[in-house]
Amino acid sequence: MKPLRIGTRGSALALWQANHFRDALQKTCGLDAQIVVIKTSGDQNVAVPAQQIGVIGIFTKELEDSLLDGRADLAVHSMKDVPTEFSGVCRIATVFKREDPRDALVSVRGETLARLPHGARIGTSSLRRASQLRAFRPDFQIAELRGNVDTRLRKVAAGEYDAIVLAKAGVDRLGLSSRITEVLSPEVMLPAVGQGALGVEFCEPRREEFKVLDILMDQDTMRAVKAERALLAEVQGGCRLPLGAWARVAGGAMVLDACVLSEDGAQAIRWRAEKVCNSAADAENLGREVAAELLLAGADRLLQMVGRSVGQA
């Protein structure tokens, strides 16, 4: 049998994730695999703000294309990059236990978020992060920052920013945790949907062939991501809108925190719900219930305001 081909982006983090998956396939499933690097729209347009690229799934579309045209058998994604309106011809399985989903601050002089100087310049390309930063401290100057983890860390070390915010999981996976100044509390910065979780995509006709992936699935992680993605789909949000969510199992039940903010952070709607979720369907129902509460409280108005602003940018 030929080795399976795993499609991945070419960044150091993406390669770490793909190799981690390849090793698990060999050790746990007895399957050999090789890595195939695929360039994505997000990688090819690092100087362009994400909202201006005009491609849904800027880090996933070309990987999916590689499955459809036979260049790869499987593709590895960070679940936070996977659009809610997912492919009709492919399927995705959440694999492994989720890494810490929180965001992390890296500052030039070692200050925490609260102790950064007035008007500090903070780098991020995420409206979710920008809005929550402005809600915490309206004086912050938010500056566009794209590129892989190494690039971002190099830019803050060079003094181009006073601080940057990025996913803790990515920094940890690259063995760079010592660079983190502060792990941001979810009360200050709720993470992106799916942050810290990995997914593996395959073509629907090969579903039976890849049922072996079930061995690698962590049920709590799978249900948490299902709840968050159901919430996101229900409010019609996306990676370009300021919505944060974090689902996790605590005390035998699933707890889901979510927030929607205005772009300037001045308005925020938050909701928490708790429910025993014994299946993926239960988790998705919890996500939809929280979405309904957010919408009832006016989240749709905030998202429409942000959507108009992004469209005019």
Catalytic residue among 43, 73, 81, 257: 81
Among candidate residues 21, 34, 69, the one with its CA nearest the CA of residue 200: 21
The type of residue at 123 is: G
Strand order in the sheet with 33-37: 33-37, 4-8, 74-78, 198-203, 90-95
- Can you read off the two tokens belonging to residue 281? 């369907």
Among candidate residues 224, 215, 208, the one with its CA nearest the CA of residue 79: 224
SS3 of 114-162: CCCCCCCEEECCCHHHHHHHHHHCCCCEEECCCCCHHHHHHHHHCCCCC
What size, in residues, is the chain?
313
Among candidate residues 226, 227, 232, the one with its CA nearest the CA of residue 299: 232
C-alpha distances (whole Å) from 269 to each of 38, 258, 295, 309 are: 39, 8, 9, 19
C-alpha distances (whole Å) from 38 to each of 43, 61, 146 are: 10, 10, 19
For residue 197, give every residue at least 6 positions away whose Cβ sits within 8 Å of its Cβ, in sequence order, or none.
78, 79, 80, 94, 96, 98, 99, 101, 221, 224, 225
81 catalytic? Reply is yes
Residue 268 sits at φ, ψ, to 5 deg, of -145, 140
Taking a C-beta distance cutoff of 8 angstroms, is the pair 140, 265 a contact?
A: no
Supply the DSSP symbol for 185: P
Active site positions, annotated = 81
